[in-house]
Structure formats: structure tokens, C-alpha cells
């Protein structure tokens, strides 16, 4: 089994490495060579020449491949096979063909026997094996025999052939298995209940083989091809059959068999030159059972919309992820106390009690040491000269990374103070971090003492904790934590919250920049020195209890990696350019994996999505970083006034919303052109200020130059005179402008 196939010197490389099929076992199970069978070997000559135009050298790649083609779709007639068979000359093949009849009738084995002869003539090894049928019937007319025969051939046949090859693959630590399912199995098809069940069963078999084979470097994937054949000629027009050539399917199979392909457990539809991957999706659902109460169909009916709502849907990829939700539900139900007529009354009242509660001021002291440890924890290294300003306290531009702002905030929450908030029943050993928002009002100092104002809010299945961080009396940064607490459900809030900073999906285009960074095996051990002592990130046994095969990286560590990627890519590592960041934590990262940050620039907002490079799994989504413009602060004098307005809203937001109840838009011009837009929202939540236009229609919008705005603010220009002189333009309800006095009374006469 060590023969080689060396194409001519004219063949050119299409893969980054050479590929010589020294295949220990290519086992292909199908009923008819001429109708479906080993169509992997029966491709058109012209496509074959393209397929084999790899730059084969004298190196040999040892492979073990098993292709189970069991859904009669990608057939080509035998006369098209010879050259493609040549590419498998060094393979050990099992060629299956029951006969010429698509229902299994006929005893001719000539088709398969001829293929075997051609493979042997090229120096390969092949054995003829004959099997597969279709028995299409409507469900009412399906007999026991129709059902059993289909399952014995399609499903049990795949099991038998795979089992025969399995130990060979294990022993050589390599294998590639391709199951051929069908769209009939994925979606169902009239008259094919037996066939559909067997085909979807193949996918279930493949998923388990992918799990069991992973540690032996055995990958198992499933394809659901659409291809023209004698089977489809009766249901497809001739031109469609012609367009569904098998050469539009086989390249996917070849790639999935390649040793460089890391895909495992995937399901792919393929046909006509198109390939798409399928995955499971699960709604957030709704808990309809409560402690000491009977679960009723009426409760299911009443919450049906929530059960079927795919907003913020999960995409589980393992049984552990699937069971995690059930475990959380059981914990939530068990934690409910007493019995009430309204199952959510107790939890809802507790949440209402917690809303708006504030902790007594606390403090956090730090020095340059903590800043440096944090920078190392999020992957900064002296290998990059730009990083030295964050790692060496003697550097002339020594600075603190902007995302260090989460550390004092986390200390304020984790020191036990939140336990004293009425109605906020949180066990932080059971907290799942959902989202994080951080906004800086000035660059962070490299040492000092911070004080905090902490407030708690709620939304459905989550607690929102807001933390203002002060240096003296000056507001330095604001954090918003969205946490999901196992066993503390039934918060009774809305699915979304007007207090929560919104996630923003990235633009629908290729990223403008991509940065990849490797984490180290000890990344979590290093990051935890910044104050997150959760044993989930260091203790293997504790991680196993959480369903993880190893301790996982802190979500805020990935958060720090992504933020500094943006800072380097778009701000030249200038921390004064950093304004804010928002992320959602999607999946865990294992220390040692590589983080890949994709970035889309839209003005001063950088949309980001962070993935694990090795698995392509998204770990941070809906994320963005807002930067200050390069000339911001010096370019427009009004920036300082709006910054102060923002601080006032942070401190007095709820009170201002009650008094004002309006949204104000501002367009600040410079040299006759719009230079900045601001929105003061004093209508929803606790109020907010953000740079940019309002997403809806503002109650009143002002247009004024930067110079005239400052003249009005300083009392040098009467706003009425400015209005009649055309220096101040107003759209909307002009009477609303009088309410601005509430927030501008110390600065303006508006």
C-alpha cells in the first residue's frame, strides 16, 4: 500500500502542499456505480485534469479515507471513470454495486467489476462489494420490508463498513470519513419516510464518530449532495440534471479528505457549484415550570411566542452545550422559594426592589505595577516596541491600557458590597458574564485611588450593573456589566433594556483589517493576577464541573486582546484616542488558542468580531470600539461642553428624564459644514448622551456653528438674537428648547 501516483511535469499546484494519495482504506458503499455508487471515482475527464493539476513531488502523504456514498445522486456513467480512477491508483478501495435497477433489481456486477479492474491496472487495490436500494412509498403504503431494507443498506451498511475501517484509522492516527446524507433526511420528502430517517441517521452517526475519533485525528463530516443521475432524471428536467454535474460535488469531498482540512462534525449541502454549511439553532425559550407547582399545557400556550422567539438564539454544537441550558433551568427552578399564585411575583418584586439601588462609595488603590500586570495579562510583549509604553514605568509616554478600566469596577462588585443591595440576590460563583460596556472620559492614570458609585438594574434573565469610577471628584470611566446568574432567573424584565448599551452587528462586507494574536498556555493564570480569582480559569477539576475540558480564558482577557488590536490598528497605540467599547461574550477560549480580531471602520467607530482562529468559533460578537478623532478636543470647542453634559446625565439621569422627557439633536458646524452631531436623550431609561444622530426623530434639533455655540454657552450671545439672526436654526418643537436649561443652567441661556 505504498505505491505513488506522479502526474506529468505539466501539472501545476492548486494546493499549498503536495498531495499523493497513499490511502490505506477508501471504502465506498453504494448500490450502483453507474447511478450513484463510487461516483467519487467517476468524474468527467476534463474536470479530472483540473483536479489532478497538483504539483506532486516525491513526498508522500499517508492518508486513510472512507467515503460512504449512500444516496444515489452523484452518478456518472462508467465510461467517464478511467482517468479519475488513476488518482486513486494507490488506494485500497471497496467498490459497491448491487445491480442496474434503482430498486435493487438485477444481478449484473459488470459496472463495479470494471471499475475494480481499472483501479488494479493502475497499481491500486480494490474489492467489489454490492449493495443499496430505494423503496419510495407514501407513509401509509410503506411495508416493514420497505423500512427494514432501506435501513439495513443505508444506515447499517454505513455502520458495518466504518467499523471495519475504524481500528486501522485509530492505529495510524489518521482518518477521514465522509457520510453522504440527503436533503430528504435534513428537510423530509414526500414518499421517502424510510429513506429520510436513514439519511438523517447517518448524520447522527457521523456526529458521534467525529467526537470519538477526534483524539485519533479521525475526522468525520457529512455531505448532502444534489447531483444529476438516473435516479433524478424522473423528477428533474434534463437541463437541470445536466447542470448538476458530479464534478460540482467531488471537490468538496476531496477537500474534506485532505489532511490540511480541520473540519470535523460538519454538515454541508452541495450542488451545482454551490456549497453551504448547516448548523443547529435554538431559541432562548421560556421556563414554564415552577417549584411546587404543576406544569400545565396552558403555561406552554401562554408563553409560546417566547418559546419560538429566535432573538438572541443560541447555536449549540455539543451535547454539553445542549445540557447546559437544562442544568441552568433546574437550578433556577430549585432556587425558587415558597409558592405564590403568580410564579414570577417573588422574583419580579425582588428585581424591582433592586432597581436603582446604590452601594455606599468604595475605593480601589493601584500603582503602575497593576497596570503592567494587566498589560501582560492581555498579551502585551516587549517583542513589540510599541508595547513598551504600557510595560515600562520609566518610559517617557508610560500609559495605562484603556481597558484596565474594568479592573477597579470589577473589584467594586466582587468585594461583597453587592450582597447588601436589597433584592439583588447574586451568588457570584454562579455568574455568567453576558456583555460588557466601558466608556472613558479621560485617559486612565497609571496610579492612584478610585472611588465608585454602583447601581443595579434588571432585564429579562439578566442583571445590569452600572459602575461609575471617580478619581477624586472627577468621573474617569463608566462600566456596564450584563450578567446572567444561574439560579437567579425570573427577573421579570423585558428581553431588552433601554438602559443596556446596544450591540451593533458589523457591516455586511469583508473586514477592513484582521489581526491575529496567540495566547499562551499560562494566559489565564497571568490574567487572574489582575483580580479575577474565579477557579474556573485555573483549576482543571473546577473547569470540568462547568462542562469544560480544561480551564478557560477570562472573557475580559479576550476583551482586552480585541481592544488593543483596535488601538494599534487605528489609533497608533494612543490611549487618549480610546472612547468606549461594547462586546457580547459568546464562547470560551482555551489558553494557547489564537485570537483573530476582524475590524470594520466606519468613521470613528470600529466594529469588531473576535474568533478562535483554530476553530473559527466566534467568541466576541456585536462589538465595537469608539475612538476620538485624531484632532478631537482641539478641533471643536463644543466637545468640552458636551463632555460635561454627559457627566451630568450620568449623575442625574433618572431625575432629568422625569423633568425633561425629550430628545434633543445637535448639529455643530465648522466653516459652514457639519463637523459633529450629538444626541441628548432625556426621554428613555436614565438618559444618555452620544455622538451621532438620533436613531429616530428628535423632538427638537439645533444647528449652530461651533463658535456661536460657545458664545451662547458663555452668555456672550443671546439665543433669541442668534435665532432671528439665522445663527441658530431650530427644527421641531421649539418650545422644548426651554427645557435645556435644566442641564445647561450653569453654562447657557438656552
> Which residues carry out catalysis?
195
| First-to-final CA distance of the chain | 88
In sequence order, what DSSP letters do the residues of 157-196 get, joined into one string? HHHHHHHHHHHHHHHHT-EEEEEE--HHHHH--TTBHHHH
Instruction: Return d(Cα 144, Cα 584) in angstroms, integer.
Output: 51
- Please name the residues in contact with 305: beta carbons below 8 A apart, sequence gap of 6 or more: none
Residue among 47, 55, 53 nearest 16 (CA) = 55
- The region that residue 726 occupies, defined by phi over 0 for left and psi between -120 and 50 for alpha, beta otherwise, is left
Torsion of CA 426, 431, 435, 440, to 10 degrees: 70
Instruction: Return d(Cα 426, Cα 484) in angstroms, integer.
Output: 10
Which residues, in sequence order, are bridge partners of residue 596?
516, 611
Residue among 664, 669, 665 nearest 705 (CA) = 669
Distance of CA 168 to the CA centre of its chain: 36
Residue among 367, 459, 474 nearest 685 (CA) = 459
Instruction: Return d(Cα 342, Cα 67) in angstroms, integer.
Output: 57
**Could you tell me where the DSSP H helices lie in 63-192?**
82-87, 110-121, 144-151, 157-172, 183-187
In sequence order, what DSSP letters do the residues of 599-611 get, joined into one string? EEEETTEEEEEEE
- The region that residue 561 occupies, defined by phi over 0 for left and psi between -120 and 50 for alpha, beta otherwise, is alpha
> What are the φ/ψ torsions at residue 712 (nearest 5 degrees)?
-65, -45
User: What are the cell numbers at 225?
Assistant: 449532495
**How buried is residue 309: exposed, middle or buried, by Cβ count under 10 Å (0-12/13-18/19+)?**
middle
HEC profile of 660-699: HCEEEEEEEEECCEEEEEEEEEECCCCCEEEECCCCCCCC
Instruction: Return d(Cα 393, Cα 390) in angstroms, integer.
Output: 8
- Cα angle 203, 66, 82 (rounded to 5 degrees) comes to 120
> What are the φ/ψ torsions at residue 414 (nearest 5 degrees)?
-85, -10
- Cα angle 725, 727, 728 (rounded to 5 degrees) comes to 105
| DSSP for residue 464 | E
DSSP E strands, 54-99: 61-63, 65-68, 91-96
Q: What long-range pairs does 107-114 form, CB within 8 A, spacing at least 24?
A: 111/32, 111/33, 111/34, 111/37, 111/78, 112/33, 112/37, 112/38, 114/78
- Report yes or no: 173 and 141 within 8 Å, Cβ to Cβ: no
Sheet order of strands, 218-225 included:
65-68, 175-180, 218-225, 267-271, 274-278
- Report yes or no: 477 and 441 within 8 Å, Cβ to Cβ: yes
Residue with cell 450502483: 32
Instruction: Return d(Cα 22, Cα 465) in angstroms, integer.
Output: 59
- Report yes or no: 44 and 80 within 8 Å, Cβ to Cβ: yes
| DSSP for residue 137 | B
Amino acid at each position: 500500500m505504498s505505491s505513488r501516483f506522479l502526474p506529468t511535469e505539466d501539472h501545476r499546484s492548486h494546493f499549498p502542499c503536495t498531495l499523493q494519495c497513499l490511502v490505506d482504506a477508501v471504502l465506498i458503499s453504494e448500490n450502483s456505480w453507474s447511478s450513484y455508487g463510487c461516483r467519487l471515482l467517476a468524474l468527467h475527464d476534463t474536470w479530472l485534469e483540473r483536479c489532478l493539476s497538483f504539483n506532486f513531488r516525491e513526498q508522500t502523504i499517508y492518508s486513510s479515507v472512507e467515503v460512504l456514498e449512500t444516496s444515489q445522486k452523484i452518478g456518472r456513467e462508467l465510461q467517464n471513470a478511467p482517468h479519475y480512477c488513476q488518482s486513486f491508483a494507490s488506494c485500497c478501495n471497496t467498490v459497491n454495486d448491487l445491480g442496474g435497477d434503482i430498486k435493487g433489481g438485477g444481478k449484473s456486477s459488470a459496472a463495479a467489476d470494471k471499475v475494480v479492474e481499472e483501479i488494479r491496472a493502475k497499481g491500486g487495490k480494490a474489492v467489489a462489494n454490492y449493495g443499496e436500494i430505494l423503496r419510495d412509498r407514501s407513509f401509509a403504503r410503506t411495508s416493514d420490508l420497505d423500512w427494514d431494507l432501506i435501513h439495513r443498506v443505508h444506515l447499517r451498511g454505513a455502520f458495518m463498513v466504518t467499523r471495519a475501517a475504524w481500528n486501522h484509522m485509530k492505529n495510524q492516527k489518521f482518518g477521514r470519513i465522509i457520510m453522504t446524507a440527503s436533503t430528504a433526511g435534513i428537510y423530509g420528502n414526500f414518499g421517502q419516510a424510510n429513506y429520510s430517517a436513514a439519511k438523517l441517521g447517518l448524520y447522527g452517526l457521523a456526529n458521534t464518530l467525529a467526537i470519538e475519533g477526534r483524539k485519533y485525528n479521525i475526522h468525520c463530516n457529512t455531505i448532502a449532495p444534489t447531483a444529476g443521475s438516473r435516479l433524478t432524471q424522473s423528477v428533474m428536467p434534463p437541463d437541470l440534471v445536466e447542470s448538476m454535474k458530479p464534478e460540482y460535488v467531488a471537490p468538496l469531498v476531496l477537500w474534506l479528505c485532505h489532511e490540511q482540512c480541520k473540519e470535523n462534525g460538519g454538515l454541508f449541502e452541495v450542488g451545482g457549484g454551490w456549497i453551504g454549511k448547516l448548523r443547529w439553532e435554538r431559541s432562548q425559550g421560556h421556563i414554564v415550570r415552577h417549584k411546587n407547582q404543576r406544569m400545565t399545557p396552558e403555561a406552554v400556550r401562554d408563553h409560546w411566542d417566547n418559546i419560538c422567539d429566535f432573538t438572541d438564539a443560541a447555536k449549540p454544537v455539543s451535547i454539553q452545550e445542549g445540557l447546559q441550558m437544562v442544568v441552568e433551568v433546574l437550578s433556577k427552578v430549585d432556587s425558587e422559594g415558597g409558592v405564590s399564585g403568580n410564579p414570577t411575583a417573588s422574583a419580579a418584586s425582588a428585581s424591582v426592589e433592586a432597581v436603582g439601588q446604590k452601594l455606599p462609595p468604595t475605593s480601589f488603590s493601584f500603582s503602575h505595577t497593576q497596570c503592567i500586570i494587566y498589560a501582560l495579562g492581555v498579551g502585551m510583549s516587549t517583542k513589540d516596541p510599541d508595547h513598551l509604553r504600557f510595560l515600562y514605568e520609566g518610559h517617557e509616554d508610560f500609559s495605562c491600557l484603556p481597558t484596565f478600566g474594568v479592573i477597579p469596577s470589577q473589584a467594586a462588585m466582587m468585594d461583597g458590597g453587592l450582597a447588601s443591595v436589597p433584592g439583588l440576590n447574586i451568588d457570584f460563583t454562579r455568574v455568567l458574564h453576558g456583555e460588557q460596556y466601558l466608556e472613558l472620559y479621560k485617559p486612565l492614570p497609571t496610579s492612584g485611588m478610585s472611588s465608585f458609585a454602583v447601581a443595579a438594574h434588571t432585564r429579562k434573565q439578566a442583571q445590569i450593573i452600572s459602575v461609575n469610577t471617580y478619581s477624586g471628584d472627577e468621573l474617569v470611566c463608566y462600566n456596564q456589566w450584563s450578567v446572567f446568574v444561574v439560579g437567579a432567573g425570573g427577573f421579570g424584565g423585558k428581553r431588552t433594556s433601554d438602559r443596556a448599551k446596544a450591540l451593533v452587528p458589523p457591516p455586511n462586507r469583508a473586514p477592513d483589517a484582521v489581526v491575529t494574536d496567540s495566547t499562551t498556555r499560562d494566559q489565564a493564570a497571568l490574567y487572574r493576577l489582575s483580580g479575577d480569582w474565579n477557579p474556573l480559569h485555573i483549576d482543571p477539576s473546577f473547569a470540568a464541573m462547568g462542562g469544560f475540558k480544561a480551564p478557560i480564558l477570562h472573557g475580559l482577557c479576550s476583551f482586552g486582546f480585541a481592544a488593543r488590536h483596535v488601538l494599534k490598528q487605528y489609533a497608533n497605540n494612543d490611549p487618549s484616542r480610546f472612547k468606549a467599547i461594547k462586546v457580547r461574550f459568546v464562547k470560551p477560549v482555551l489558553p494557547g488558542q489564537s485570537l483573530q480580531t476582524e475590524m470594520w471602520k466606519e468613521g470613528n467607530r470600529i466594529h469588531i468580531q473576535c474568533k478562535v482562529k483554530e476553530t473559527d468559533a466566534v467568541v466576541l460578537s456585536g462589538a465595537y470600539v469608539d475612538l476620538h478623532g485624531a484632532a478631537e478636543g482641539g478641533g471643536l470647542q463644543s466637545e468640552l461642553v458636551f463632555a460635561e453634559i454627559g457627566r451630568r446625565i450620568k449623575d442625574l439621569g433618572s431625575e432629568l428624564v422625569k423633568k425633561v422627557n425629550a430628545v434633543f439633536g445637535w448639529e455643530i458646524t465648522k466653516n459652514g459644514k457639519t463637523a459633529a452631531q450629538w444626541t441628548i436623550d432625556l426621554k428613555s431609561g436614565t438618559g444618555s448622551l452620544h455622538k451621532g444622530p438620533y436613531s429616530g426623530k428628535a423632538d427638537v434639533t439645533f444647528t449652530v456653528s461651533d463658535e456661536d455655540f460657545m458664545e451662547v454657552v458663555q452668555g456672550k450671545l443671546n439665543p433669541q438674537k442668534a435665532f432671528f439672526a439665522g445663527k441658530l436654526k431650530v427644527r421641531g418643537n421649539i418650545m422644548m428648547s426651554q427645557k435645556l436649561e435644566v442641564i445647561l443652567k450653569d453654562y447657557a441661556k438656552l
